[in-house]
Amino acid sequence: MKRFLAAASAVIVGLLISPVAIVAHHSTADYETKLTTVSGTVTDYKLVNPHTQIFFDVKDDNGKVEKWVAETNSAVALYRTGWSKTTLKLGDKITATGNRAMNGATLMHLRTILLNGQELPMGRQ
């Protein structure tokens, strides 16, 4: 079964992890360094600290739905980049690129996101 609509190339850890890990409480150590891209439909969106969470359904080539979660920058950082509680809505079509959980869970640390084809500013964290 093809799990990803697109899979991306490996990049070095140094490019992915900012020089200063801001909230070391939960590091990015248990995510893959390579990037994975999936597209799906938003089912829930929580603009929260320390990491915002986006829940979305991804259909594979056989029509089977996988439930994905993308966690990303803190609510304070995204708020100051222009995000709000209504930036994402149920049913929105997104394409998320990020580092997938090393254990294969359908969880990623989000790096970039397209909403209806348009990239949303993320800031850097």
Q: What does the binding site for other proteins look like in residue numbers (CB under 8 A)?
A: 19-20, 22-27, 30, 48-51, 53, 69, 71, 73-74, 76-77, 79-81, 101, 103, 105, 107, 121-125
Q: Report in angstroms how near the CB of residue 99 gets to other proteins at its nearest.
A: 12
- Of 2 and 124, the one with the shorter C-beta distance to other proteins is 124
Residue 35 or 47 with smaller CB distance to other proteins? 47
Q: Which is nearer to other proteins, 63 or 100 (CB)?
A: 100
Longest dimension (CA), the chain: 42
Residue 33 one-letter amino acid: T
Cβ proximity to other proteins: between 63 and 104 the closer is: 104
Task: Report which of 48, 27, 46 is spatially closest to residue 102, judged by C-alpha positions.
Answer: 27
71 beta partners? 53, 109
The two tokens of residue 72 are 């990303």
**122, exposed or middle or buried, with CB in 10 Å at 0-12, 13-18, 19+?**
middle
Q: How far is the CB of 54 from other proteins (least distance, A)?
A: 12
124's tokens: 């850097």
